[in-house]
């Protein structure tokens, strides 16, 4: 069992925040509320964000918990609270799995907060809710597996927006058989995770999240095992060693510096591919139907971020400028006049 290194004061703060969170959830989910609902205060989420930026996340959680106990219909406050618990779960992994509660409890709280934000019309929380389930899969993955089948939570997660699902499928379709797909953002990571794990489209693809490889020794050990490399190596060195056996696919937002120096990568569809020997054209074409529909309707939460991923791909691969991405105006300045 890991030793909790926090001070008694920090533990008391955590206990108080947890109790307040439970009270807030109870006030929403209980049919007969025992407290009068207060008016929504649009400044609370901003005040909590300022506390979190200043390093006082516990105080931010306490502020939101007390507020949501009496004003449970503030979707933005629920969204902000979900972010903080998601970050707490990630910090648990970065701290070498020390502390109580563990990441699973934090992610349970984050899931509940994002569910309430979704209920109140904050569509951006749909992607964050899926990120919670992606992060939940890290712990069993680190215990001895890699492509962990979706558990109870993943099956209950609200579906991702269609254009995000489409992005994940396109990225996975861009990676050759047995490829190592390195992502560069939460959006890319959750889109490809959903395609590979939840939809089970490509069980041969190995997904790598650089931020976890760098910060979480347990994740790094499992990643090195599946890359067949030494966990003492940097990620770039591990990818270079692995590229002799498996194609390396760098997503549009993954750092170019991760590409092996001995085998210059080449743009291929949406990714940078190393070694640069191009594969046979995959049977499944890239599709942008859902994103086109959303763009024509004026956009949705996350649609601009998805478009930015495609723009980044077009900056690397000029061939994208003359295809369907041109209809979307996705390349923009990347393609020039």
In a domain, 3, yes or no: no
199 and 103 in a common domain: no
Collapsing DSSP to helix, strand or coil, 12 comes out as helix
In a domain, 195, yes or no: yes
In a domain, 114, yes or no: yes
The distance of Cα 217 from the centroid of its chain, to the nearest Å, equals 19
In a domain, 133, yes or no: no
165 and 296 in a common domain: yes
pLDDT at 147: 56
What are the beta bridge partners of residue 182?
A: 208, 250
First CA to last CA across the chain, in angstroms? 61
Question: What pLDDT digit, counting tens, does each position of 82-112 carry?
Answer: 999 999 999 988 887 877 788 888 999 999 9
Q: Tokens in use for 79? A: 């969204």
The whole-model pTM stands at: 0.86
In a domain, 128, yes or no: no
Instruction: Report residues of the chain scoring pLDDT below 70.
Output: 1-37, 144-157, 262-263, 276-283, 327, 331-333, 336-337
Q: List alpha helices for 120-244, DSSP H.
A: 124-136, 138-142, 152-156, 162-173, 186-193, 210-215, 217-227, 235-242
pLDDT at 8: 40
Rounded CA separation 269/49 (Å): 39
325 and 186 in a common domain: yes
In a domain, 132, yes or no: no
Q: Tokens in use for 285? A: 């074409």
What is the total count of domains within the chain?
Answer: 2
Helix axes 217-227, 235-242, angle to 10 degrees: 20
176 and 114 in a common domain: no
276 and 195 in a common domain: yes
Which of 136, 127, 87 shows the shortest CA–CA distance to 108? 136
Instruction: Domain of residue 326: give its range.
Output: 143-337
Q: For strand 248-250 and strand 206-208, is the pairing parallel, antiparallel, or unpaired? A: unpaired
Collapsing DSSP to helix, strand or coil, 278 comes out as coil
């Amino acid at each position: 069992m890991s030793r909790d290194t926090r001070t008694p004061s920090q533990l008391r703060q955590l206990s108080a925040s947890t109790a307040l969170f439970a009270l807030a959830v109870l006030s929403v989910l209980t049919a007969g509320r025992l407290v009068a609902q207060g008016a929504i205060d649009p400044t609370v989420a901003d005040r909590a964000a300022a506390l979190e930026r200043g390093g006082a996340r516990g105080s931010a959680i306490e502020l939101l918990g007390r507020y949501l106990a009496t004003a449970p219909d503030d979707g933005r406050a629920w969204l902000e609270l979900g972010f903080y618990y998601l970050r707490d779960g990630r910090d648990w992994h970065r701290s070498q799995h020390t502390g109580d509660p563990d990441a699973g409890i934090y992610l349970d709280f984050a899931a509940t907060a994002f569910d309430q934000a979704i209920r109140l019309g904050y569509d951006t929380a749909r992607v964050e809710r899926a990120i919670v389930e992606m992060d939940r899969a890290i712990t069993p993955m680190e215990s001895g597996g890699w492509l962990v089948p979706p558990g109870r939570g993943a099956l209950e997660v609200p579906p991702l927006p269609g254009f995000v699902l489409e992005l994940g499928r396109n990225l996975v379709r861009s990676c050759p058989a047995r490829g190592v797909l390195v992502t560069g953002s939460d959006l890319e990571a959750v889109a490809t995770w959903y395609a590979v794990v939840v939809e089970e489209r490509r069980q041969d693809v190995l997904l790598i999240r650089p931020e976890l490889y760098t910060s979480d020794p347990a994740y790094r050990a499992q990643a090195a095992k599946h890359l067949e490399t030494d966990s003492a190596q940097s990620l770039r060195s591990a990818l270079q060693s692995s590229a002799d056996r498996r194609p390396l696919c760098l997503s549009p937002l993954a750092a170019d510096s991760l590409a092996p120096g001995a085998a210059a990568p080449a743009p291929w569809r949406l990714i940078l591919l190393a070694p640069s020997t191009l594969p046979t054209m995959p049977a499944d074409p890239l599709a942008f139907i859902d994103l086109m529909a959303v763009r024509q309707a004026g956009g949705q939460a996350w649609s601009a971020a998805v478009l930015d991923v495609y723009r980044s791909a077009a900056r690397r691969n000029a061939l994208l400028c003359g295809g369907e991405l041109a209809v979307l105006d996705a390349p923009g300045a990347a393609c020039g006049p």
